[in-house]
């Protein structure tokens, strides 16, 4: 396979991982781009994503971070394996007021049984990406049933 074919295959696999997760589709999170060890996604914020006071709910931020981090981990896997989140921590650093969130996840350590991934969630404010939450997860690598 050429590098370009590999790149497309990886993107198709990761895109399916967004499309086939009903909650992610329902919330409106979509893949932006990905490569070996990383993934980027975005969400167009609408009133349904909010908490009191007009900020994006922590649950929305956790959802985009967790799913994007899982996708970044999935880029490291051999065929026939998948990842599930064992645990994550998220720091909500600032009130997220924006009509668009973006997320960037990077694999920090890829092991045989565990993949550690970090993700940042940004609010788009006047065209600038402001860091609103930082996320760190332990993913378990499993064989597909």
Q: Give the interface with a second copy as residue ranges (CB under 8 A).
A: 17, 20-24, 26-27, 47-52, 57-60, 62-64, 66-67, 82, 84-95, 108-109, 113-114, 116, 134, 136, 138, 140
Matching residue, tokens 């932006």: 32
Torsion of CA 106, 109, 115, 118, to 10 degrees: -30
> Residue 4 Cβ, how far from a second copy at the closest point, in Å?
27
Shortest separation between residue 49's beta carbon and a second copy, angstroms: 5
Cβ proximity to a second copy, 5 vs 25, nearer residue? 25
62 or 129: CB nearest a second copy: 62
Nearer to a second copy, 2 or 129 (CB): 129
Q: Rounded to whole angstroms, how far apart are CA atoms 69 and 41?
A: 10
Query: Any residues with CB less than 8 A from the CB of 80 and at least 6 apart, and which?
Result: 143, 144
Q: What crossing angle do the helices spanning 58-74 and 3-19 adopt, rounded to 10°? A: 150
């Amino acid at each position: 396979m050429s590098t370009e074919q590999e790149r497309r295959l990886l993107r198709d696999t990761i895109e399916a991982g967004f499309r086939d997760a009903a909650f992610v589709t329902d919330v409106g999170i979509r893949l932006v781009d990905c490569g070996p060890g990383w993934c980027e996604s975005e969400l167009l914020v609408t009133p349904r994503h909010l908490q009191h006071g007009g900020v994006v709910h922590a649950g929305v931020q956790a959802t985009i971070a967790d799913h994007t981090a899982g996708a970044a981990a999935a880029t490291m896997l051999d065929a026939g394996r998948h990842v599930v989140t064992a645990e994550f921590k998220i720091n909500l650093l600032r009130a997220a007021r924006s009509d668009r969130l973006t997320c960037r996840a990077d694999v920090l350590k890829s092991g045989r049984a565990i993949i550690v991934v970090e993700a940042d969630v940004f609010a788009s404010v006047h065209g600038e990406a402001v860091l609103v939450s930082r996320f760190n997860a332990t993913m378990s690598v499993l064989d597909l049933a």
